[in-house]
């Protein structure tokens, strides 16, 4: 995946979280794969008109009709677009691993940078974003140490270098939480009382409270997940949809609490593509936003789709994005 030389890592001893099994999955409907130009459409979002938008690894932002037809390129970030989110005025927020937090206006075609650095440090891995009703944008940085092309460095390093941040309407940026283990998807609860965010290697979902007596504090929603949560979204009924990119990796779990020199040697000697990979699966879970109960779970394997990293519900369908391969996918949700 990565053509550039691997940057150095500074691994630490870290005990990965435990693992609690989820209920048995629901029967998963047949999957429909939708071709889009380019590879690794990492996130997937729905516009006000029902169109589906995604971004591929060569920088292009692509729109497809609500039925999955007529894909067309809308803009090109010149970087690596990851998480996407529409704003109240119809603009598209784009988290780009190389350029930071961007805003694209489909009406004018204007692409602008909202945040490229925080406290003088460049955003290396802007991951996902969501806009609140007051115009604040909440976004994550998975790691401050690596770009997308070397994301495995953060996994092997095991150093909590991710953050949850807020861009206020006046343009100021505030770090709400740091030291996170690969901060990833972010969404608002339906009542906007809290921001829900995922930590992929931390294998948990947490709430950053915006209102009420717990405002400004963080509480766990779901912990010790048996896999790695990626991008997330809020469904029409308020549930939190989570794209589970992969099961946990036994080798990484074994290495993390052991001598850092083992991982330093592994990183230095092995080609990037030989380092531990996520296992391909199509896996999405819907959690109750109040207590973290599993409301629905779909898990299957498909020869033309896997490693789901983005999820959004739209018009009775559950759409998914992915890494390391071509195409979006969706299935019809059971009534």
DSSP assignment string, 124-177: S-EEEEEE-TTS-EEEEES-SS--GGGHHHHHHH----EEEEEE-TTS-EEEEE
The 10s digit of each residue's pLDDT in 78-95 is 999 999 999 999 999 999
CB 85, CB 75: distance < 8 Å: no
* Top-confidence residue, 103 or 279: 103
User: What pLDDT, on the 0 to 100 scale, is given for residue 3?
Assistant: 59
**Per-residue model confidence (pLDDT) at position 2:** 43
Angstrom distance (rounded) from CA 163 to CA 183: 6
User: Tens of pLDDT along 8-31?
Assistant: 999 999 999 999 999 999 999 999
Across the chain, what does the average pLDDT equal? 96
pLDDT (mean) for 279-283: 94
Which value, to the nearest 10 degrees, does the dihedral of the CA atoms of residues 2, 325, 322, 246 take? -80
Reported as a pLDDT band with limits 50, 70 and 90, residue 1 is very low
**pTM to 2 decimal places:** 0.97
Decide: 80 and 309 in contact? Cβ < 8 Å: no
Cα torsion through 230, 103, 54, 142, rounded to 10: -20
| Residue 169 CB coordination number (10 Å) | 10
pLDDT tens column, 188-216? 999 999 999 999 999 999 999 999 999 99
Question: Rounded to an integer, what is the distance from CA 30 to the centroid of its chain?
Answer: 24
């Amino acid at each position: 995946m990565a053509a550039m030389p691997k940057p150095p890592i500074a691994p630490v001893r870290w005990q990965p979280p435990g693992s609690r099994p989820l209920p048995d999955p629901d029967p998963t409907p047949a999957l429909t794969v939708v071709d889009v130009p380019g590879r690794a459409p990492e996130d997937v979002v729905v516009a006000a008109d029902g169109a589906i938008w995604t971004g591929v690894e060569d920088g292009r932002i692509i729109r497809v009709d609500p039925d999955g037809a007529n894909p067309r390129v809308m803009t090109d970030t010149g970087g690596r677009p990851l998480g996407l989110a529409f704003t109240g005025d119809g603009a598209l927020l784009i988290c780009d691993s190389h350029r930071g937090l961007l805003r694209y206006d489909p009406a004018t075609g204007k692409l602008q940078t909202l945040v490229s650095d925080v406290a003088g440090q460049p955003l290396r891995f802007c991951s996902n974003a969501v806009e609140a009703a007051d115009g604040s944008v909440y976004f994550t940085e998975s790691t401050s140490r690596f770009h997308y092309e070397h994301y495995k460095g953060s996994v092997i390093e095991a150093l909590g270098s991710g953050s949850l941040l807020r861009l206020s309407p006046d343009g100021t940026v505030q770090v709400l939480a740091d030291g996170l283990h690969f901060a990833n998807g972010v969404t608002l609860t339906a009542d906007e009382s809290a921001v829900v965010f995922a930590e992929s290697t931390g294998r948990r979902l947490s709430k950053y409270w915006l209102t009420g007596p717990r405002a400004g504090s963080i509480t766990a929603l779901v912990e010790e997940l048996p896999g790695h949560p990626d991008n997330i979204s809020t469904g029409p009924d308020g549930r939190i949809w989570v794209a589970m990119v992969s099961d946990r990796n036994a080798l990484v779990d074994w290495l993390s609490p052991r001598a850092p020199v083992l991982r330093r040697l592994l990183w230095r000697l092995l080609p990037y593509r030989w380092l531990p990979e996520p296992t391909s699966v199509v896996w999405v879970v819907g959690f109750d936003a109040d207590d973290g109960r599993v409301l629905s779970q779909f898990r299957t394997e498909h020869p033309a789709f896997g490693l789901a990293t983005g999820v959004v519900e739209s018009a009775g369908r559950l759409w998914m994005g992915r890494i390391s391969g071509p195409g979006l996918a969706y299935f019809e949700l059971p009534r």
